[in-house]
Structure 1
């Protein structure tokens, strides 16, 4: 990238982006890091569970990385984000290097998935990149079942406990054809009305959307969003 392009990106970023300070960092099992950000603007923002916050992980570009806050404290002006450091890319590097006292550039919060629309029973399916959304849903309802794929199932199970998700959770090793995931998901919704919430890998979102049409019963509603896909970045 040329020096002129980097300079223009920084000039635009200085106009559009706000600033937050890192006020907490905690490593979690399973290659996850929890970061607390503090900003005066957070006290004035509208926070809806499931909405997104973007971080510019690297100056000199306008490539933003998107995260779902697991918690927002309006009085203190803080939000908590979880990043998967083994994902690769600038977002993962930012979480790896985050230290208390650092500043970062932010954009948002903005509309994404509105979890307040989830009524009644829910089935949540995702992976390590979905953990922020899983935490946000858990704060809203105790009537949800979670199926989460992971590169390190044992580590992610520990991380879920540390962030306070004590609902029924099954953590599965990543499965290229999703056969086990689809079967287990169908078993958990048999005979119940429910909302399906599926995020993370684009292949998982596509597979579960398609498979759920044949479940009995089919979901009353599907909330789906792909966060990443093999060979691609920046889906959101």
Structure 2
């Protein structure tokens, strides 16, 4: 199955797709795909074209899934412009093209990268930072924490597998994060809301990412607590049954 999925991605793209890739995308090669836990993969890409960019934590890249017109979005956690190297913490949600690429991207495989581009500009946010999200947000928390070690960053994530997520955070040395186990009835969201109180009192800035429905609930909760819009940014990374949110 994995070999079939990899082969599908390497089918020769059409002429128009190749032209778009040459004009707008950066070729890169997968040099490592390390499985940190179930569904989580740390993927490293390298290429000369990755040396010519300026990256800021929170920015996104889009990677072509065999065609310049079929891409999936990821948040880099590190970008070494001198070496032409970037790292992505990928989370395989299900069986779509993006999840299959996260699972099966193999060293030596070439892909086309569009970006980095604006998604969340956390560099311009002041004060203590609180990142709320899910499995897809862990990479952002890492980028925010280790790009600027002087910044106080805490995080709270809703996750399906707290053991696996804990393994990932240990691998990344991400210490100031709390995990809340996701429940089918959505009852865990109340725990996420309860975690806001101390940070609101301290005047922290909130970054809401991950699942669109959870973001909506947390945004409303913060507004009821009179958190000003200058201390609140949000970006939905995904919603059930939808693609292309970011």
TM-score normalised per structure 2: 0.86
Distance 1:138-1:212 versus aligned 2 partners, 3 A rule: same
Aligned position for 2:92: 85
Residues 26 and 33 of structure 1 are in contact (CA less than 8 Å); yes or no, is this contact kept in structure 2?
yes
Residue aligned with 2:224, SS? coil
Residue aligned with 1:119, SS? coil
Aligned position for 1:98: 105
Distance 1:196-1:219 versus aligned 2 partners, 3 A rule: farther
Residues 20 and 37 of structure 1 are in contact (CA less than 8 Å); yes or no, is this contact kept in structure 2?
yes
For the residues of structure 1 that align with 2:69 and 2:173, how far apart are their CA atoms? Answer: 34
1:111-150 paired onto structure 2 within 5 Å: 111-139=118-146, 140-141=148-149, 142-150=151-159
Aligned position for 1:72: 79
Aligned position for 2:174: 165
Q: How far does the alpha carbon of each residue in 1:148-188 deviate from its partner, in whole angstroms, 9 at most, with x for none?
A: 01111111011011012122x111112425222111223x3
Unaligned stretches of 5+ in structure 1?
none
Distance 1:41-1:10 versus aligned 2 partners, 3 A rule: closer
1:1-236 paired onto structure 2 within 5 Å: 8-59=16-67, 62-139=69-146, 140-141=148-149, 142-167=151-176, 169-175=177-183, 176-177=186-187, 178-186=189-197, 188-215=198-225, 220-236=230-246
Number of residue pairs matched?
A: 229
Per-residue deviation at 1:130? 1.3
Per-residue deviation at 1:118? 2.1
Per-residue deviation at 1:191? 2.2
Residues 31 and 107 of structure 2 are in contact (CA less than 8 Å); yes or no, is this contact kept in structure 1?
yes
- CA-based RMSD of the aligned residues comes to 2.0
For the residues of structure 2 that align with 1:87 and 1:212, how far apart are their CA atoms? Answer: 31
Residue aligned with 2:90, SS? strand
